[in-house]
Amino acid sequence: MTVYCDTKFFKHHFFLYLTMKLGNLVQDQWVEGGGDARVLTSAVTGEPVATLSSEGLDFKAMLDHAKSVGGPNLRKLTFHERGFMLKDLAIYLNDHKQEFYELSTQTGATRRDSWPDIDGGISTVFVFSSKARREMPNDRVYLDGPPEWLSREGTFVGQHIFTPKLGAAIHINAFNFPCWGMLEKLAPTLLAGVPAIVKPASSTAYLAELMVRRIIESGILPKGSLQLICGGVGDLFDHLTCQDTIAFTGSKYTAEKLQAHPRVVSESVAFTAETDSLNMSILGPDATPGTPEFDLYIKEVVREMTAKAGQKCTAIRRIIAPANIAGEVTAALSRALGEVRIGNPALKEVGMGALASQGQRDEVRERVADLAAEAEVVFGGVDDFEVVDADAGKGAFFMPTLLHCEKPLTSKAVHSVEAFGPVSTVLPYDTLDEAIELARLGEGSLAGSIITNDNDVARELVLGTAAYHGRMVIINRHCAAESTGHGSPLAHLVHGGPGRAGGGEEMGGVRGVLHYMQRTALQGSPETLSHIGHRWIRGADQKDPGVHPFRKTFEQLEIGDTFNSKPREVTLEDIDHFAEFTGDTFYAHMNEEEAQKNPFFEGRVAHGYLIVSFAAGLFVDPDFGPVLANYGVDDLRFLQPVNYGDSLKVRLTCKQKTLRGDTGYGEVRWDAEVTNQDDEICAQYDVLTMVATDAHWKSVQ
Ligand code: NAP
């Protein structure tokens, strides 16, 4: 990093910042852009923080590097190995987070604002790491659902798979969450096995750049897996191919422009967008003043208006409240907003910091003027207000501003103008149908919330508005204390929304990883597809392991290893004994006449759990061995009634193996099939076991 020691110094509390020229990370080297660098200023003091330029970078070479170095390096690793890599990265960033918090103040963020950006970003990486290890195979191909049976004899089957795209993921991020915005895209991308080229928004790029420096210093990521552009993207788009993906966050205007790029169109480059949003929050008619829900609503709206000074894509912009109490809602909100102290975000007593830049403040002022054409400003909206420990003339401070729109059903601006700051409008409604119509007028949002303790109201509003929302939260007195709130996207849940919100989708656990992969429908023989996917499919070869498969360690077991049990007859005494022993005396097991009246049975039948229990007795190898535990069954189906006198046998086939890191064991999934004397399938299921590795097994013998 070049530091210009002859440029401006300024001191802000305990931290000394130098105006630094941000680096671009190109082909694993830090490179400075040429030409006139753009000066980035502090949102709080208006003083320069950094300069940036990406002029002269070889963007085509960056793409080539991602494809030829980053992609192959990442694709060598299994999903679990990539998951462990993310975990190491999250731990490393967590150890360095203090410096991110310090620099984040310059973006105008209070410590409370920085928390979702920095800690929220790091915890997103942790969640993806753990999702990889729990929900994805320890392999390099991801199987999408069960096989499809395409032929009568079962010799030709189908299987959907996902494999990593062979290009780069271009991440274009918004200015409001320089850390989280980068990490929430980066974690699923790396997990997919795809390298990323990140372009942070210029105004807060200094924080994203610092984080990338720490990521690279950690040495955790393989070469070529991450590159950074601080500034414009030059001719990058001209070199994109169908193997690249663009994940964009920002304004709808920019999204539309980039999506229409001729190369994006001609190459069908995957493009996912998270854009503007006029998010709504509905107060249920039951939540009158004096109820816990009314107080929760006021708290939620004020938090959403003031957190990050309202610069959250998920912030509540439209407050949809029952008309008969709209006045009380407005009064309570105004009172609470009046208590928020605005100023230097480094101070604890300050509840709201500054907007990201003076330009942003001017933009919000203009948008409030647009809104005021249809709505009345009832709180804020003035330039002269108290600012704590900061120069109001230099910092990008803006007073929280509340508007009230008397005729929201016929107004346009309140449903279409996004003032990206601490600004929100009260929209009164008379009936639930009206509330639904108002919500829909936003034409697609990232997040919506409903505050009600009436579950009928909740259902009616959700069914009426969910199609316009990517995520909805219903808050009442029972969940409020643990609720993550209206505006917090979570790594486990999808983030994105229809229409104005961009039509994209990110995160949502494994769903978010798959956006960077290609789904392919495979067709072939069960043996071939089992071999490709490392998961045994019925109809594939059944291998004779030579010994009972329970005598084999994790490494020794082969997919397809099969054990066929001896037969065992089910007697009426067995059914009586099982019924008496377990207490399950359901009539179909106990009473011949009543069982015959049941359309499924010809007479008394064995309990399903008796079949499964007998099956375990038939396939188990009881002696001390490498199989450590049975930890469940999946997809259990009883397909044929078992009558007394029937004779059961079991086939148990090693279906899938998933090594659990260096724990000394791995998960082995077995395909179990219980058949009767006529070879009819009575039960089918997967048995899940933990099996010791060679090393562990040797150590305990
Ligand atoms: P913006 O102008 O659209 O910028 C977004 C990103 O696009 C920035 O990184 C910007 O870089 C980049 N960009 C702009 N023009 C580009 C071009 N021609 N080629 C490549 N990249 C280009 O949006 P903004 O005004 O900074 O951000 C505020 C908006 O973002 C709001 O409308 C807000 O609702 C939305 N937002 C949405 C979400 C979400 O998750 N849906 C999250 C946050 C914000 P430069 O900074 O260098 O121009």
* Closest residue to atom 5 of ligand 1, CA basis: 250
228 CA from centroid of ligand 1 (Å): 16
Q: What is the dihedral of CA 422, 427, 428, 431, to 10 degrees?
A: -120
* Residue of 62, 249, 311 to test ligand 1 pocket, by largest number of atoms within 8 Å of CB: 249
Do 117 and 101 contact (CB within 8 A), yes or no? Answer: no
2 CA from centroid of ligand 1 (Å): 27
* Residue of 117, 229, 251, 361 to test ligand 1 pocket, by largest number of atoms within 8 Å of CB: 251
CA–CA separation, 416 vs 468, rounded Å?
A: 14
Q: Residue holding tokens 């933009």?
A: 363
- Residues 527-562: tens digit of each pLDDT: 999 999 999 999 999 999 999 999 999 999 999 999
23 CA from centroid of ligand 1 (Å): 20
Q: Is 274 a catalytic residue?
A: yes
* Closest residue to atom 14 of ligand 1, CA basis: 254
What's the pLDDT score for residue 184? 98
251 CA from centroid of ligand 1 (Å): 5
173 CA from centroid of ligand 1 (Å): 6
Q: Looking at ligand 1, which atom is closest to the CA of residue 173?
A: 9
Q: Which of 32, 179, 293, 313 is catalytic?
A: 313
* Closest residue to atom 19 of ligand 1, CA basis: 233
Distances in Å between the alpha carbon of 39 and those of 25, 34, 44, 95, 494?
A: 19, 14, 15, 30, 36
Q: Looking at ligand 1, which atom is closest to the CA of residue 205?
A: 46
273 CA from centroid of ligand 1 (Å): 10
What's the pLDDT score for residue 393? 82
* Residue of 24, 206, 240, 313 to test ligand 1 pocket, by largest number of atoms within 8 Å of CB: 313
Do 575 and 646 contact (CB within 8 A), yes or no? Answer: no
Which protein residues are within 6 Å of ligand 1, measured from CB?
A: 172-176, 199, 201-202, 233, 249-251, 254, 258, 274-277, 313, 418, 420, 446
* Closest residue to atom 30 of ligand 1, CA basis: 250
* Residue of 172, 179, 198, 446 to test ligand 1 pocket, by largest number of atoms within 8 Å of CB: 172
Q: How buried is 173 (Cβ within 10 angstroms: 0-12 exposed, 13-18 middle, 19+ buried)?
A: buried
Q: Looking at ligand 1, which atom is closest to the CA of residue 446?
A: 41
pTM confidence score: 0.91
247 CA from centroid of ligand 1 (Å): 11
36 CA from centroid of ligand 1 (Å): 22
Distances in Å between the alpha carbon of 490 and those of 449, 479, 483?
A: 15, 17, 12
* Closest residue to atom 38 of ligand 1, CA basis: 313
* Residue of 175, 316, 416, 505 to test ligand 1 pocket, by largest number of atoms within 8 Å of CB: 175
Vertex 26: Cα angle to 25 and 31 (nearest 5)? 70
176 CA from centroid of ligand 1 (Å): 9
* Closest residue to atom 24 of ligand 1, CA basis: 250
Nearest to 548 by CA among 620, 616, 613, 618: 620
What's the pLDDT score for residue 383? 86
Structure token digits, residue 295: 């107080």
Q: Looking at ligand 1, which atom is closest to the CA of residue 506?
A: 40
CA–CA separation, 551 vs 621, rounded Å?
A: 8
71 CA from centroid of ligand 1 (Å): 27
Q: Looking at ligand 1, which atom is closest to the CA of residue 250?
A: 30
* Closest residue to atom 16 of ligand 1, CA basis: 254
* Closest residue to atom 15 of ligand 1, CA basis: 254
Q: Looking at ligand 1, which atom is closest to the CA of residue 312?
A: 43
Do 588 and 605 contact (CB within 8 A), yes or no? Answer: yes
Q: Residue holding tokens 């069982």?
A: 595
* Closest residue to atom 40 of ligand 1, CA basis: 274
CA–CA separation, 163 vs 157, rounded Å?
A: 19
What 3-state DSSP class applies to 74?
helix
Nearest to 100 by CA among 172, 182, 39: 182
Output b/e per residue, 249-287; b: 16+ Cβ within 10 A: bbbbeebeebbebeebeebebbbbbbbbbbbbbbbbbbb
CA–CA separation, 590 vs 579, rounded Å?
A: 8
Q: Looking at ligand 1, which atom is closest to the CA of residue 253?
A: 3
* Closest residue to atom 13 of ligand 1, CA basis: 254
Question: To which H or E segment does residue 257 belong?
Answer: helix 252-259
First to last CA, the chain: 56
Q: In what order do the strands lie in the sheet with 24-26?
A: 29-31, 24-26, 226-228, 196-199, 169-172, 245-249, 270-274
* Closest residue to atom 11 of ligand 1, CA basis: 201
Averaged over successive runs of 10 residues, the pLDDT of the chain (701 residues) comes to 33 48 97 92 87 96 98 98 98 97 91 93 98 95 97 96 98 96 98 98 96 98 98 97 97 95 97 94 98 98 94 95 97 97 91 89 95 96 88 89 97 95 98 98 97 98 98 96 94 96 95 98 98 97 96 97 98 98 97 95 96 97 96 96 97 96 92 98 98 94 85
Output b/e per residue, 44-72; b: 16+ Cβ within 10 A: bbbbbbbbbbbeebebeebbebbbebbbe
Structure token digits, residue 74: 């990442």
Q: Is 313 a catalytic residue?
A: yes
* Residue of 57, 230, 254, 318 to test ligand 1 pocket, by largest number of atoms within 8 Å of CB: 254
Q: Looking at ligand 1, which atom is closest to the CA of residue 420?
A: 31
311 CA from centroid of ligand 1 (Å): 12
What domains does the chain contain, in order, with CATH numbers? 55-274 (3.40.605.10), 279-494 (3.40.309.10), 542-700 (3.10.129.10)
What's the pLDDT score for residue 19? 67
What's the pLDDT score for residue 5? 32
Do 166 and 67 contact (CB within 8 A), yes or no? Answer: yes
Q: Looking at ligand 1, which atom is closest to the CA of residue 277?
A: 34
415 CA from centroid of ligand 1 (Å): 20
248 CA from centroid of ligand 1 (Å): 8
Q: Looking at ligand 1, which atom is closest to the CA of residue 251?
A: 3
Q: Which of 274, 300, 304, 418 is catalytic?
A: 274
